[in-house]
Chains A and B, each alone.
Chain A
Amino acid sequence: MSEPYTMVVGLEVHVQLATASKLFCRCSTRFGAEPNTQTCPLCIGLPGALPVMNREAYELGLKAALGLNLEIPRFTKWDRKSYYYPDLPKGYQISQYDLPMSQNGYLEIRDPKGRFETRRIGINRAHLEEDAGKSLHDEAGAVADSRIDLNRCGTPLLEIVSEPDIRSPFEAKAYLSELKLLLTFLNVSDCNMQEGSLRVDANVNLHIDGPDGQVATPIVEVKNMNSFRAVERALTYEAARQYDAWQETGQAKGDVPKQTRGWDDTAGVTHGMRHKEESSDYPYFPDPDLVPVTVTDEEIEQVRQSLGALPAALRDRLQTEFGLSDYDSDVIVGQGPALVEYYLDLAQATGDGKLASNWVQQDVMRYLNDQAIAVADYPVRPDQLAELLTKVKVGELDTSRGRQVLEHMLAAGGTAAEAVEHLGIKQVDAGEEVELCRELLAANPQIVADLQAGKLKAAGALIGMAKKTNPNVNPGRVREIAIELANQWDT
């Protein structure tokens, strides 16, 4: 790194857990309903309404926590975090303070292109809490009233707090991608940033090497980053801004209170928000309406067994069992569990992991992207594609013919064999190809001359002619035959 400082970043990620109902009542968590239609006396904070924990939320939290290698205390409790805001109708948020449901874990991040060393980012804790509602402010002027939608109020969130182990914007992005991938594999959240099911705040400062030792700049919390790309850009901006500010003011950590800055994606800058109060200034106290949650070793073990294969293990498997490169295994696993499953079925049926990987990446994924569909909706099943790849593998079809066959299968359905037949693809006898080449060379003395002169490009023209005569010829073999014949040509 060429900068005269080390960047220190910790990320707080809120993910919405994929429960059908809210954390403490039975209201639906569905996104996009008419405002204030998914509410009840509890989530709008009416007097006397009491919370009852949705155990499913705890169990999803447990899955995520185990996936993040976190320790699971057998006893965890709920606390109220008090603050006043119109989208928080109770005047407090039910969260977890000193006894979170999980703590002390890690997530391994890696870069197949080697731009940083593979390493573990510590996870301080992951705890459950309820979401607040949504405030819709009149941005145009201060005259109109703000509007409040309480549908989201009480939706279960898992807050995942990393240690300040992240050292660059690129690492931050890698951490978020890996986290999102893991949660997707675990099926605990849809991690949709547009719908707010995954939100990221970053705590960032710089450690600057100076003549009198290392100086830390004031910690800044950056908010309003609406994509991983935005996180990367905001952190890059913030590092430069903090370095400039330090050079200008010399202010170090402790000289000024912790600041909150918002990311403006359009302008590409962060700007100051309200002063962030220290966490102890939010009065927290144990929620007397809820009982502590207990969990047994057996329950934890049961959830652990149900986790299934996770991204890191799958990448290893693709590399060791199917011979894929670091890069290829990363691309395939990065597409999520459904594509991995498709790949595994295909690779096993084909018996050629690399061939399967090439076709999945170049053909299947491209089609999915072009059509904007999920693997589940891909028209060709892995066993059907395997039949086609086997033909390619044994040389029955060359790659471009294979693609034509696949295109036909995608358009018309059916098996590879049916597509081959429909396209009139037949194996051409080698003798037939020799005969065809001989005829074409005889009719095109210039090509013969070129080939004899070593201008092998001329073979291309001949291949084109051969394919026009018989589309089933093998271009590679035609080329070989043509060169051989030309060299023996007796004019």
Chain B
Amino acid sequence: MSLFDLTACEQLAELASGRTTSVELTQACLAQIDAHDSQVGAFLHVDRAGALAAAERIDARRQAGQALGQLAGLPVAVKDVLCTQGMPTTCGSRMLEHFRPPYNATVVDRLHTADAVLIGKTNMDEFAMGGSTENSAFQATHNPWALDHTAGGSSGGAAACVAAGMVNLSIGSDTGGSIRQPAAHCGVTGLKPSYGRVSRYGLVAFASSLDQVGPLARTAEDVALLLGAVAGHDPRDSTSANRPADEYLAQIAQPLTGLRLGVVREHFAEGLDPAVQRSVREALTVYKSLGAQVSEISLPHSKYAVATYYVIAPSEASSNLARYDGVHYGYRTDEQAMLTELESQRARLEAAGDEQGLAELDSALVRMYRRSRAEGFGPEVKRRIMLGTYALSAGYYDAYYLKALKVRRLIRQDYDAAFRDVDLLVGPVSPTPAFRLGELTDDPLSMYLVDLYTASANLAGVAGLSLPCGQSNGLPIGLQLQAPPFAEARLLRAAHMFQQATDWHAQRPALCSSS
């Protein structure tokens, strides 16, 4: 059995017994990245030297008999939306192409404290806006199961690198489904924790009230391991929950007796791919065979989730992204060219005696803002900034933003009611398996519908998990489990039960075996 076949938890045992070292694991990851990432495009930055140096330090400490953190030398990939001190943090955007933060996100600090080896930064849709990772300003990520398909998004790189065997542990972020949907498309397990469970400090904000950092891995066990390392209260994040994290890994093998699963009626409506529907139904059969009671449940307002999401998320984004203005850091337009152009415009207007044109001409500062933002942001980011700015503007605020907040509360109440009757909600992650690269890029509205089953969890602040439950034409299909706020332990135990009974999570894309 090679290192490549082991889960992170199994690798921990190998490390502890001395049968392998962190350097060996890191080298294995780098070798897999070298072999396949030119095709997959999962990474934006691989910190080869830094990772090997960290692995050596951890090995030396282990040799010296020192106690190590929970991750004890395991390589971890981090989505490029989390600040890493001195390392590029681009958010998949030209705007931050050369940005190197002077500080670490809390999650990154915790990874270091846990003795993880940070292997690199993974690709993503620009500012986490998108469902296919095609909105990255630098590269598209290809689905390791079928390279002409997308890996999903926005954490496409984070899911693809796990699927392609480049790394076992990966950190993503989820604002409307950005961990769960790529996890489903790439056939890995991904968790969006409850809002407030993992610190957002140092997570480049997309929509602050929806964003949540979470782990991706092949198994629920590995997800539990990684969640345990990063979850918990952070005084630097006012929205972080002031309650201790659970012992996710220690509890994971405890089966849930009398588990009550609620099937969300609205998730089986029009638009659901038959293959996905079949796999989800089969998964329910598995759960029944494990003693779970399955009943149908309704989230009556879930049909408004996408609409609500696409008011609230862009509104927050329009404000969160105002800081990228070319003044203090990040992309700035070519000033000389901009000033030259402005002067020639002024000269033309003066020559024509166009008083009004002159009065309306930008100041150099305003032109610098406009140009920097026009050139630094991609089309999807601009689309959402415009949507959000509109929704927050005078005269529309009540009709859009305020109304969306009210619907959001109703969606949350739906969940509260549902969780009075069942322990977990179960359903599909995404209406279809992975789609082809380029298939939806000209159709932003269809792209927004990929969040159909996932956005509600962010609006309600509950936890959601995606795990592999089938395949269609060689493409993985994901099952979504949702739990009440802070019931991640329950979610992970339920996922683990399923993975003990099935082997969908153990399937590897053909690409992997070619190494």
Contacts and interface: CB of A to CB of B under 8 A. Distances in A.
Partners in one complex: yes
Nearest to B312: A288
B318 to A, nearest CB: 8
B325 A48 contact: no
A53 B235 CA distance: 11
B322 interface: yes
Contacts, number: 99
B328 A45 contact: yes
Interface stretch (A78-86, A177-185, A386-394): A78-86
Contacts of A288: 207-209, 239, 316
Given A288-B208, A288-B316, A46 B322 contact: no
B389 A41 contact: no
A91 B325 contact: yes
A52 B394 contact: no
A90 B320 CA distance: 8
Contact of A44 (B99, B200, B328, B365): B328
A108 B373 CA distance: 50
A41 B205 contact: no
Interface string A264-298: 00000000000000101101110011110000000
Interface residues of B, dominant DSSP: loop
Point out which of A48, A86, A92, A285 has the most chain B C-beta atoms below 10 A from its C-beta: A48
A47 B321 CA distance: 9
Contacts of A281: 394
Interface in B312-358: 315-316, 318-319, 321-323, 325, 327-329
Contacts of B318: 283
Given A91-B319, A285-B319, A289-B239, A47 B393 contact: no
Interface in B82-100: 82-83, 89, 91, 96, 99
Given A41-B101, A46-B102, A92-B319, A84 B202 contact: no
Given A84-B369, A291-B238, A48 B202 contact: yes
A41 B101 CA distance: 9
B201 A47 contact: no
Contacts of B401: 285
Given A47-B101, A283-B392, A288-B316, A86 B238 contact: no
B303 interface: no
A406 to B, nearest CB: 56
A50 B105 CA distance: 10
B494 interface: no
Contacts of B83: 46-48
A52 B238 contact: yes
Contacts of A48: 82-83, 101, 105, 200-205
Given A49-B201, A283-B392, A289-B208, A86 B322 contact: no
A52 B328 contact: no
B94 to A, nearest CB: 14
Contact of A283 (B101, B202, B236, B319): B319
Nearest to A290: B238
Contacts of A92: 319, 322
A86 B397 CA distance: 26
Interface string B391-425: 01111010001000000000000000000000000
Contact of A47 (B205, B207, B238, B316): B205
B327 A283 contact: no
Contacts of A46: 83, 101-103, 329
Count class of interface residues, chain A: 20 to 34
Count class of interface residues, chain B: 35 or more
A150 B207 CA distance: 26
A103 to B, nearest CB: 21
A468 B437 CA distance: 112
Nearest to B395: A280
Interface string B129-168: 0000000000000000000000000000000000000000
B237 interface: yes
A278 B395 CA distance: 12
Interface in A121-161: 148
Given A41-B103, A46-B102, A46-B329, A91 B239 contact: no
A280 B394 contact: yes
A284 B322 CA distance: 13
Interface string A313-356: 00000000000000000000000000000000000000000000
Contact of A289 (B202, B238, B328, B397): B238
Point out which of B82, B236, B315 has the most chain A C-beta atoms below 10 A from its C-beta: B236
Contacts of B392: 82, 283-285
Point out which of B89, B323, B393 has the most chain A C-beta atoms below 10 A from its C-beta: B323
A51 interface: yes
Contacts of B397: 283, 285
A285 B311 CA distance: 13
Contact of B96 (A47, A82, A148, A283): A47
Contacts of A278: 394
A84 B370 CA distance: 11
Contacts of A84: 322, 325, 369
Given A283-B393, A289-B238, A49 B319 contact: no
A283 B238 contact: no
Given A47-B89, A283-B319, A291 B239 contact: yes
Contacts of A47: 83, 89, 91, 96, 99, 101, 204-205, 323
A86 B237 CA distance: 26
A164 interface: no
Nearest to B322: A91
Contact of B236 (A44, A52, A285): A52
Contacts of B102: 41, 46
B195 to A, nearest CB: 10
Nearest to A40: B103
A51 B327 CA distance: 21
Nearest to B370: A84
Interface in A405-425: none
Contacts of A280: 394-395
A89 interface: yes
B237 A283 contact: no
Contact of A52 (B103, B208, B235): B235
Given A53-B238, A289-B239, A290-B238, A91 B323 contact: yes
B328 A89 contact: yes
A156 to B, nearest CB: 16
Given A50-B200, A90-B322, A90-B323, 4 more contacts: A47-B89, A84-B369, A86-B365, A89-B327
Q: When A and B form their complex, which 10 residue pairs have the shortest distance between CB atoms, in order from nearest?
A: A91-B322, A288-B208, A288-B209, A280-B394, A47-B204, A48-B202, A283-B392, A45-B323, A48-B83, A86-B327
19 contacts: A44-B328, A46-B101, A47-B204, A47-B205, A48-B82, A48-B105, A48-B201, A51-B238, A52-B235, A80-B319, A82-B392, A92-B322, A283-B389, A283-B393, A285-B316, A285-B319, A288-B209, A291-B238, A291-B239
